[in-house]
Amino acid sequence: MTNHKSFPVDAEAAARAVLAGEATTPAKTANGTVEMLRVLRVARRSASKARGQAANQLHSLLVTAPDPLRQQLRGLPLARLVQTAAAVRPGPLTDPQAATKFALRELARRYQLLTAELERLDAQLAALAPKAAPGLLTRRGVGAQVASALLVVAGDNPGRLRSEAAFSMLCGSSPLEASSGKTIRHRLNRGGDRDANNALWTIAMTRLSCDERTQRYLARRTAEGKSKREIIRCLKRYIAREVYRDITAAVLS
């Protein structure tokens, strides 16, 4: 999910609050395992984006490739296309076909290198995440990537957060009041950390697919007239409460 927030505006607002003495929440300490997760996620995000670009460029070149080469590689699944293109022998660059083969090979090998980089980063994240909050990883739908995104929002000192409601707000999972007259309703909160919000969405969708209790909740709220989108918002709010308890419990233990 893309973060559409205006960081310069947010930074200015935060600075003004500090200068005015209105900022009461301590800053993240960034001196422990969670900070380690954060910097690894920065590298992972970059590698993932670059690998996606390499894959797109592979397919783009294939569309305009000379017909014999296009016939050879067209329709292959991405993994097979990368493997095949990485083993291509272009020979001397004397015509467009040879140049295209060379370009495809380089892109495929770049994709393979970035895949290996992602695997190394994922291994480190998988090793570190349980150290930060072991209870969090026992929750259904929570893997190392999801846990890391949620831990980064809380920081190494989650005690700085006043309550689970404050954590939910940081994740953008607290529905905002949008009632009018006798109509009581809430709308989507577009603020907060979008990576953490997406992590809550991942947990919710996983549970909807395989958790009996969550499926019963969906059926009950659907019978009450709630849309699936509204139900998922509610689920994310409940999950944020669980996550907050796991994270703070890890600090207190």
Q: What pLDDT score does 2 carry?
A: 42
Can you tell me the distance from the alpha carbon of 232 to that of 206, in angstroms, rounded to the nearest whole number? 11
**Which whole number is the average pLDDT over 180-191?**
57
**Which whole number is the average pLDDT over 84-108?**
94
- Beta bridge partners of residue 180, listed in sequence order: 183
Q: What pLDDT score does 169 carry?
A: 87
Contact status, residue 250 vs residue 137, Cβ threshold 8 Å: no
Question: What is the pTM for the complete model shown?
Answer: 0.79
Amino acid at 87: A
For 225, what's the count of Cα atoms within 13 Å in the CB-facing half-sphere? 1
- Please determine, for residue 229, whether its predicted confidence score (pLDDT) is greater than 60: yes
- Please determine, for residue 1, whether its predicted confidence score (pLDDT) is greater than 50: no
Q: What pLDDT score does 251 carry?
A: 66
Contact status, residue 189 vs residue 169, Cβ threshold 8 Å: yes
Q: Which two structure tokens, joined as six digits, stand for 151?
A: 């831990």
- Please determine, for residue 239, whether its predicted confidence score (pLDDT) is greater than 90: yes
Pairing state between β 176-177 and 186-187: antiparallel
Residue 176 burial by Cβ neighbours in a 10 Å radius (0-12, 13-18, 19+)? exposed
